[in-house]
Homo-oligomer: A and B are copies of this chain.
Amino acid sequence: MERRVLLTGFDPFGGERINPALEAVRKLEGRILEDIGVRVVAQELPTVFGKSIEVLAQAIEREQPEVVICVGQAGGRTHITPERVAINVNDARIPDNEGQQPVDEPVVEGGPAAYFSTLPIKAIVQAMRDAGIPAMVSNTAGTFVCNHVFYGLMHLLHTRSAGVRGGFIHIPYLPEQVADRPEPSMALETIVRGIEIAIRVSATADADVRVTGGTEC
């Protein structure tokens, strides 16, 4: 029996013409990991407060996945960074793709202050590193649409889909985005290999491993 993993990526924002998350997710759309009986389903999300969560909810309803991994661009980061925690706040430094710029509003009115990822983030980081892929746990997903979708996802899973694992992974810029700017990047091929590892570990690990992914600040 086929198990589904739902992967999402955002459309470009912040003046960029491409979004590495969308590029990576498209490469994995439809991929079948036969050895673990998994089929990857990809979904594009608009970089828009509100709508992004609606589209995500519909995709979850339609696909009934066992695992949901949302992927987003983290400009300036050097590593693939599975996120630990989503917080209940929208605080937009720049407008979203429909011009909304909420400040200090909750993602879900009355929701808890935060949700932790239910992906095995330490095991994912460990497996990526074993494969030579730069990875580390992140303790903040920011306060823009990435965190918004991450919080929305965890709230959905918590309230409606107990047992479905979910979380968010931030990825660096692609090389072509920063060819003439002093920012770090990662090749699409490396990112795609990393995301596939995240899928495999998320779909098969019984529990997370107990290794540190902490920081002093």
Contact (Cβ within 8 A) B187 A144: no
Encode contact with B along A191-217: 1 for CB under 8 Å, 0 otherwise: 000000000000000001011111111
A142 and B178 form a contact (CB under 8 A): no
Give the nearest-CB partner of A94 in chain B.
B216
Contact B185 A217 (CB under 8 A): no
Please determine whether B113 and A180 come into contact, CB atoms closer than 8 angstroms. no
Specify which chain B residues have a CB less than 8 angstroms from the CB of A183 in the assembled complex.
78
Contact with B along A119-136 (1 / 0, CB 8 A): 000100000110011111
- Kindly identify, within residues 113 to 161 of chain A, every residue whose CB is under 8 Å from any CB belonging to chain B: 113-116, 122, 128-129, 132-136, 138-144, 146
* A113, B151: Cα distance in complex, Å: 12
Contact B114 A75 (CB under 8 A): no
Stretch from A22-30, A33-41, A83-91 that touches the partner: A83-91
* Bound CA–CA A105/B92 (angstroms): 31
Sorting the interface of chain A by its residue count into under 10, 10 to 19, 20 to 34 or 35 or more gives 35 or more
Q: Is A101 an interface residue (CB 8 A)?
A: yes
How many copies of this protein are present in the complex?
Answer: 4
State A183–B216 Cα separation when bound (angstroms).
Answer: 15
Q: When the two chains form their complex, are residues B208 and A104 in contact, meaning their CB atoms are under 8 A apart?
A: yes
Which residue in B178, B211, B217 is a CB contact (below 8 Å) of A146?
B217
Interface residue ranges, A against B (CB under 8 Å) = 14, 72-79, 84-85, 87, 89-94, 101, 103-104, 112-116, 122, 128-129, 132-136, 138-144, 146, 170, 175-176, 178-180, 182-187, 189-190, 208, 210-217
What 18 additional pairs, Cβ within 8 angstroms, besides A103-B211, A141-B217? A73-B216, A73-B217, A75-B216, A76-B217, A78-B178, A85-B87, A87-B116, A87-B139, A91-B212, A93-B214, A93-B215, A113-B114, A128-B179, A133-B179, A139-B142, A143-B215, A146-B216, A184-B184
